[in-house]
Amino acid sequence: MSCEENKKDCGCLFEILKRILLLQRQEFDNESHTGCDKPYLGPTCTSVCYNTRPVMLYNCCTGEPWSFTYTVNGTTGTSNVFRIESLDDCCCTCRILYPGTEEGKFVATSQFFTINLDCVGAIRCLPDTFVELC
């Protein structure tokens, strides 16, 4: 089933994630918003030191955060923090992020997953940050 046929399930989540993806690509406007759909990354519109709005995705059935395993330098871990990389209908491809050594900082993995937005009940946006992309 395409997103157009099932707009009530993934429509609002798709629009928020689309806004985040455009921001990360620096294709934004200067409207005044706050929260997940704030039209720029960082605390002010002139910030150029942010490239990621980390998100957590919540399971629509259980309310628990989705988490995925990753392996970096032979060490395996689990993370529930992601970077939106692409959107296609109701499918969202994310990069797995893991906590860095500094509070609130994340490190990008080279591991991705694609999730059907019909399986996502909520999105939590974390503070904007800079993530070195591999």
Q: Do the beta carbons of residue 62 and residue 87 sit within 8 Å? A: no
Query: DSSP for 21-79?
Result: HHHHTT--------GGG-SSSSSSTT--S--B--EEEEETTT-PBP-EEEEETTEEEEE
> Higher-confidence residue: 26 or 16?
16
**pTM of the predicted protein model:** 0.79
Confidence category of residue 62, pLDDT binned at 50, 70, 90: very high
Q: 20-51: per-residue pLDDT in tens?
A: 998 888 765 555 556 676 666 666 655 567 88
Lowest mean pLDDT among 1-15, 64-78, 92-106: 1-15
Confidence category of residue 2, pLDDT binned at 50, 70, 90: very low
What local confidence, expressed as pLDDT, does residue 66 receive? Answer: 97
Q: What percent of the chain has pLDDT over 90?
A: 57
CA atoms of 82 and 115, how far apart (whole Å): 12
CA dihedral 111, 114, 120, 122 (to 10 degrees): 50
The token pair at 35 is 């929260």
Confidence category of residue 110, pLDDT binned at 50, 70, 90: very high
Please state whether beta strands 75-79 and 68-72 pair in parallel, antiparallel, or not at all (unpaired).
Answer: antiparallel
The candidate with the shortest Cα–Cα distance to 65, out of 38, 94, 89, 40, is 94
CA atoms within 13 A on the CB side of 39: 8
